[in-house]
Amino acid sequence: MPNPQFTKPWHGVPREKIKWNPTVIEDACIGCGTCVTGCSRLVYRFDFERKKPVVVDPLNCMVGCTTCANTCPAHAITFPPIESVLALEGLATVRHAVEDDLLARKDVLGAPLSLPHPDRIVTLTVSGIERVGTDVLRIRLAPAKLGECFCEFTPGQYLELWQPDAPIMSRAYSIANAPEGDGSVELHIHRIEGGRFTNWAFSQMKVGDRLQARGPLGHFTMRSQPGTPLLFLAGGTGFAPILALLRQQVRFDAKRDMALVWGMKQARDFYALDELLPLLEQAPHLKITLAAELGQPSVQLSERLIFIQGTAVDALAKNQPLIANRDIYAAGPSVMLRALVQDLYRWGAPKDRVHIDSFTM
């Protein structure tokens, strides 16, 4: 019988709605029983007559756990694709359930030692807000105190922000600009259905608001040798760190061979074209491909600015030679990135030349 202790909702999602449990490949199974004795949740029982494990209580299986498959000497156990779990983790309700659980059990889950943190916490003031389309905010944050800023951040890094006077944890956003003299940063905030921070940002944030910020964080920064051809790949607001990296390269090496592929669900949502298109004039060897599943972008297309109906992966599939001999920098939603990386490797991109935004992964 399923154990209620193990079959309770997973971060608010009913366990019976989550398809996660092992499957035994009997032809490969050698009947050693390692999976049966190693699973403390009694997912398995052992058929002593057939000398085979049997999945009896699949709902007892811990969501995301693959210990039995990892320790099976015959590789006779499979699980559904992890993407099914990752898709759930992207839901605002799941994120909020995790956050609420952490805060509710802070006395138990909090680390017993206070470790020194290398990152600084700075107060930033909202100096500009621009709503682009229905689902993206471009905000500008300036130092609240002169000289107290993230003036030395590296393009591609991100900040953690706290909503003022709210009992929620921080949220992380990539910096979309290269360092500027006044220490201000630009962030792109995508609306999350039911998101706590984004609901506040879209409905209540105003110029003059002060936010606590920690950073800079992350290692998604330029690692390529000067002159190496570059390919930038972006999905959605994953464009923010890509834009920062691209601006950096145009500023320091405008004649570099560079290509950008940016995918959005709808063409009307290409929200930063006013910042992107001037880079074409500054960088004579830059080529840009926009990809959207729905609609057409309202820009003048050319040999160096093209549009493809479909996804960013579709755009690459149609132009695989673009991948060869380039260092690749990719950022976007985690599910999109996993599929994209698999395709890049399949198309021959060397793993040591593919750099992924670890924050979005």
Residues 290 and 326 in one domain: yes
| 237 shares a domain with 340 | yes
Q: Are residues 154 and 189 in the same domain?
A: yes
Confirm whether 1 is domain-assigned.
Answer: no
Q: Is residue 44 part of a domain?
A: yes
Q: What is the pLDDT of residue 360?
A: 47
Q: Give yes or no: residues 21 and 79 share one domain.
A: yes
Same domain for 260 and 196: no
SS (H, E, C) the chain: CCCCCCCCCECCECHHHCCCCCEECCCCCCCCCHHHHHCCCCCEEEECCCCEEEECCHHHCCCCCCHHHHHCCCCCEECCCCHHHHHHHCCHHHHHHHHHHHHHCHHHHCCCCCCCCCCEEEEEEEEEEEEECCCEEEEEEEECCCCCCCCCCCCCCEEEEECCCCCCCCEEEEECCCCCCCCCEEEEEECCCCCHHHHHHHHCCCCCCEEEEEEEECCCCCCCCCCCCEEEEEEHHHHHHHHHHHHHHHHHCCCCCEEEEEEEEEHHHCCCHHHHHHHHHHCCCEEEEEEEEECCCCCCCECCEEEEECCHHHHHHCCHHHHCCCEEEEECCHHHHHHHHHHHHHCCCCHHHEEECCCCC
What letter represents residue 320's amino acid? Q
In a domain, 114, yes or no: no
- Same-domain status, 175 and 278: no
Q: Domain range spanning residue 30?
A: 15-89
Contacts of 118 (CB under 8 A, 6+ apart): none
Q: Are residues 53 and 85 in the same domain?
A: yes
* Residues 16-43: tens digit of each pLDDT: 999 999 999 999 999 999 999 999 999 9
Is 147 a domain residue? Answer: yes
Residue 249 and residue 169 share a domain:
no
Q: What is the pLDDT of residues 105-151, one digit of tens each?
A: 999 998 877 655 556 789 999 999 999 877 899 999 999 988 788 88
Query: How many other C-beta atoms lie within 10 A of the C-beta of residue 68?
Result: 22
171: left (phi over 0), alpha (psi -120 to 50) or beta: beta
- The pLDDT assigned to 120 comes to 78
In a domain, 96, yes or no: no
Beta-carbon contacts of 154 under 8 Å, excluding residues fewer than 6 positions away, are: 216, 221, 222
pLDDT tens by residue, 150-190: 888 899 999 999 999 998 999 999 999 988 888 899 999 99
Total domains in the fold of the chain: 3
- pLDDT, position 83: 84
Asked if residue 273 and residue 175 are part of one domain, the reply reads no
Examine residue 2 and state whether it is found in any structural domain, yes or no. Answer: no
Is pTM beyond 0.95 here?
Answer: no
Determine whether 70 is exposed, middle or buried from the number of CB atoms within 10 Å of its CB (0-12, 13-18, 19+). Answer: exposed
Read off the CATH number of the domain in which 67 is found.
Answer: 3.30.70.20
Considering the domain architecture, whether residues 253 and 169 belong to the same structural domain is answered as no
Across-strand partners of 189? 137
Q: Within this chain, do residues 234 and 346 fall inside the same structural domain, yes or no? A: yes
- Residue 361: which pLDDT band, with cuts at 50, 70 and 90? very low
Average pLDDT along the chain: 91
- The domain that holds 212 is classified in CATH as 2.40.30.10
234 and 333 both lie in a single domain: yes
